[in-house]
Structure 1
Amino acid sequence: MPITDEIKKTLTDPTPLYALAGAGDLAYEKLREVPGKVEALAADRQGAQEMATAKLHEAQGLLAGAPAKVTEAVTALPTDLKVLQERAQGFALQQVARAVELAVRAKETYDELAERGKVVVDKARPQADSTQADAAQAVEPSDAAEPVAEPADPAEPIEAELLDEPPAPKKSKPRKSAPGVTE
């Protein structure tokens, strides 16, 4: 039964929900910063336009010499297949190491979001618990506050005594038999 135990563990683990709550809290925090950044960008608009114009002129200058640089790069490529194979293997190993590094960083970020979400949930939980407790008290009145019914006139019979008696049995109707059947 290890599969069912694993499924139970997966379904009862609150960590993904904490991570989701943490991500929502982080998104809320970042969204609150947006109006200030928009105002700062609007203020820097003139400087950005001048910088963009300068970058455009620089890019145009680079494009003018691009065909010569491409020709130079192609001629500088190694023609030895073994050298190319070694470089490709080195590049592949670098990418594997990078993928492992990114997986570790993703796990760390997930754990940080889960911790943040746990804090958010714990902060919200007392409010929910007190709200539920208030609702439960409103639905279930206490025994001490239960009113006792008193008859208006002592000469009238007390209804409480009538309620304590068991209800009279219901009279059953005689069954009708089907036509042609005798009992």
Structure 2
Amino acid sequence: MPITDEIKKTLSDPTPLYALAGAGDLAYEKLREVPGKVEALAADRKGTQEKAGARLQEAQSLLIGAPAKVGEAVNALPTDLKALQERAQGFALQQVGRAVELAVKAKETYDELAERGKVVVEKARPAAPAAPAEAAEPAAQPVQDEPVVEAEPVADGAAEPAPKKSARARKSAAADAE
């Protein structure tokens, strides 16, 4: 649907205008009630003033008795403070006990975990050499190997030449011949 058709439909829809008219009517109705409410408030003014005066006298009587109540609270305060201090000290001692208990449990758990870790590491570690005497022998000097050259393929019917020996094999054969 083209935009122009949508605009025409929106502008021809009377619903927003109806809503505006309804709001205006409600406002008019409420405004018509205002003069009656103002007259009722003016008539109740005397009753309201009397109620306010009674509450003021009540508040004044409370203020007169307030210093006595404050004095009683102040006199009772030191005993309350002592009791609070004793309760606070007891609570602090309880918490210290709990902290020590938790520290002991933490140490036990730590030790258990350490023992468990030790077992796991021992299982994962490779076995130690069987004969410690072999480890004590001096190691033979390493000999550098020369790369072994393989024999080249031979054509059909020809005799295969013997494979070439590595330098180590030649040295070993020479030593055996002496």
TM-score (norm 2): 0.31
Which structure is richer in relative contact order (CA contacts within 8 A, separation 6 or more)?
A: 1
Larger radius of gyration: 2
